[in-house]
Structure 1
């Protein structure tokens, strides 16, 4: 029984991707990537093919203002789909928190501002380009194209250019107590992300692109979100409250995340490197995976 319906994955380019695919297939039927550098699109699809497991993936193109990077990643995604087929490809996410990052750099936070709309328009143009490039492959199976951003950055305008939308919803960054974290996540997602989709004519399906709870902090200042600590017991509480309930009510989500990221701890510090259900050595932390059916 695979209790966690979807998983979000940062893959290390030197890691054994097939090994990762086999482990993840015991916990999930769907995973999501962030980008296409280091040939990860092909590596994951090859791993699924080699391992012969029931696993599908949202491929991704990480978007910045660098158009060359976008084009290079798009080619890698198209090559992977051409080589391994679209059967295990759930879609392609163009961008992750692109609008949030652009507005934050300008000390802004309103996705409906002039700058927010401009960032959305840029993403919409890239999504349209990716969509037409996939269609040009002539494959019979349609591969949807969408984007992921912070839950507070999702707007009807952005979603009008999406086949699907993904929203990062973290109770930790909402400064929520752990015993309220699961309910807060549902409420935020419905109000900030599902509602904008329902306000569009295309009504793209929505999913929670990231949610979870950190287990540690590299700095004393970030050991709590205010009311609750970064700890393994609190991650257990969030998993117990969120996972089975989501699988039952049909909420689509990606659990953040597979394993701890050493590089994120080095680069960002605080809790950034400590969100894994597994350690960086891919050992399960002192956790009990909830036993429940998939949606």
Structure 2
């Protein structure tokens, strides 16, 4: 599952459901570090906390607060973000701070941070405006929580009643905790407590890839060091190990940065059968091994055999040669060497889930390894969520037993290199992706892993929209955070000890929350843009400047590319294909700003060009769309202006070099409002056999009263059959 560059698939919306609570369990502490009977729970006194801003109050009886906002009578609560006016439009948000001393009681101590709150009355829906509740440790993000919106009054509330996470304390010291609520929101906090427990010596890790929205390997759009540092701090508080998937590019900086956060690191090299590129990866991995202090392991290849099993003998020989090269050339010969592969491609299995032997060539590969990373995915195998966690752990134990039998003197270490459950995507057999099922799997897996001393790296930390495996967004939806780093569930740590999870809710949310459905398009249409990325991406192996806007903002990748910048203003046009500030549907929209630079006729525009070229070849829409009798093709799109009253011309076709099958542009000039509105351009009787200019927009300074610029938003640009 974890990829470096070119795992591909489709992206589309599906039903999003809100859930509450995942649980995670720590391994049983050793006798030396058994929990002490006098371990003290630190309970913060709400009335004594430092409050910043005007938006916080203490309620001693809030049963009637704001028209019976809460479903239970509260003896005492800190209403973070609220004031006594009950006019939430005036609420400006709130923040509280606490300075506490956390003692390291063991070799390393994990404090479980639990924040409980009161449930609300009435229904709530997921908020597309995406205000965020946050928890910080020493002014660094620990836990971000999305918001829901009460249907009766529009008030923003936390997506979960209560949260459970961890704070790692390698040495005693003073810590600051800050908790914030956004504007027009309230967080009714009932209690805040921290409980210490011993850190586990077992691997409890996360698969980590640093790419965020609108970032993608193989392009110029890459995460910054600041973004990576922020991610690694979060992970350093919620896991003890990370693995990486590539040794070149931006991935090369991750191991060194992670070690600064006291994380164990298994550094990976991406092997894909392209000799020149693979040699660069191997050389980079060897360099990391020789330069990054105290790496914990090297991973040569990720699911290489799965992707090259057509020629099994060649695949195993190629991988084995690279493993041996790394072993021979690294300076530290004690550094553990591994590869990562699915359990079904490593071993032969019978119908009772028992191993019957090695896959061809795999015995020789495993013999060369110090550590084996095995990927176990019950969902990819089409299994029901019921029993999926048990299947995963049972498979691990079977492999562990088999390795001990086959290599009795070599003490092969076995780690689950990836396992997890997607929160959305296409159904495979009996495996249904959903947020509740993801929570159920994580809760049950971590509990069983704890009981059986299973070492693992959960897949993965964050959703990544560039990943394309499966259908309907399946490959993008494995994180226990959304891609914007807000938590999907009411807990987000794999370090939580069993003591913290025994009484945590096993079921889904107590809040009566419903997420709006994102219907899957089943009508006859051809999509230019609906989300990023909007269409299957072929293969991007190099930076292509013609695919970027003038300000280096990532554009949508599809069959028509917004690369035809025009007019005297073209050098200043700014385009973002993943603006999250005001989407019409889904999570993103396009934001375009056209400046009117000094000119006798100031104007600017963008053509969405077929195959990224003014000269074509075009797209044959007659092969993409099925048009029956009495039907015709129209182009539909949603648009709005930043302020309203922006005059913009939209058109299709008419690329003026004779290559476009629509020789003259079909145009419509409109005045935008600051509210989303759908527009359409009829293409009845037009020749759609070689469309080069799939979509176009233009704005003129004169029509816009010579303002400095116009800013508009676009969403859901589609050819439809009506």
TM-score (norm 1): 0.83
Runs of 4+ in structure 1 deviating by more than 6 angstroms, as ranges, are: none
Q: Could you report, residue by residue, the CA deviation over 1:115-142 in whole angstroms, capped at 9, with x for unpaired residues?
A: 434322221211110011113xxx4x72
Name 2:255's counterpart in structure 1.
Answer: 44
- Mapped to 2, the partners of 1:197 and 1:116 lie a distance apart of 25
- Mapped to 1, the partners of 2:469 and 2:299 lie a distance apart of 27
1:159·1:200 contact (CA, 8 Å) conserved in 2? no
Name 1:99's counterpart in structure 2.
Answer: 305
Name 2:72's counterpart in structure 1.
Answer: none
Name 2:223's counterpart in structure 1.
Answer: 14
Name 2:390's counterpart in structure 1.
Answer: 183
2:297·2:337 contact (CA, 8 Å) conserved in 1? yes
Name 2:236's counterpart in structure 1.
Answer: 25
1:5·1:30 contact (CA, 8 Å) conserved in 2? yes
Structural mapping, 1:211-226, within 5 Å? 211-217=419-425, 222=426, 224-226=427-429
Name 1:109's counterpart in structure 2.
Answer: none
Q: Could you report, residue by residue, the CA deviation over 1:141-188 in whole angstroms, capped at 9, with x for unpaired residues?
A: 721111011111223232112111111100101222212011111222
The structural deviation recorded for 1:26 is 0.7
Identify which range, 1-10 or 249-258, moves more after superposition: 1-10
1:33·1:60 contact (CA, 8 Å) conserved in 2? yes
| Aligned-residue CA RMSD (Å) | 2.5
Higher helix share: 1
Higher strand share: 2
The structural deviation recorded for 1:206 is 1.2
- Mapped to 2, the partners of 1:194 and 1:64 lie a distance apart of 31
2:303·2:341 contact (CA, 8 Å) conserved in 1? yes
TM-score (norm 2): 0.35
Structural mapping, 1:135-174, within 5 Å? 135=331, 139=332, 142-154=334-346, 155=358, 156-174=363-381
2:469·2:475 contact (CA, 8 Å) conserved in 1? no
Label 1:46 to 1:195 Cα distance change in 2 as closer, same or farther (>3 A).
same
- Mapped to 2, the partners of 1:228 and 1:123 lie a distance apart of 31
Identify which range, 74-83 or 256-265, moves more after superposition: 74-83
Question: Which is bigger in relative contact order (C-alpha 8 A, separation at least 6)?
Answer: 1
The structural deviation recorded for 1:91 is 0.8
2:305·2:315 contact (CA, 8 Å) conserved in 1? yes
Which of 274, 291, 302 is 1:66 aligned to?
Answer: 274
Identify unmatched segments of 5+ residues in structure 1.
107-114
- Mapped to 2, the partners of 1:268 and 1:130 lie a distance apart of 36
The structural deviation recorded for 1:192 is 4.9
2:245·2:251 contact (CA, 8 Å) conserved in 1? no
Name 2:717's counterpart in structure 1.
Answer: none
The structural deviation recorded for 1:58 is 0.4
Identify which range, 7-16 or 262-271, moves more after superposition: 262-271
The structural deviation recorded for 1:267 is 9.1
- Mapped to 1, the partners of 2:292 and 2:393 lie a distance apart of 36
Label 1:23 to 1:43 Cα distance change in 2 as closer, same or farther (>3 A).
same
The structural deviation recorded for 1:36 is 1.3
Q: Could you report, residue by residue, the CA deviation over 1:187-241 in whole angstroms, capped at 9, with x for unpaired residues?
A: 2233356524641363421111110000012xxxx1x333342111111111110
Aligned residues: 270
* Higher Cα Rg, which structure: 2
Label 1:271 to 1:10 Cα distance change in 2 as closer, same or farther (>3 A).
same
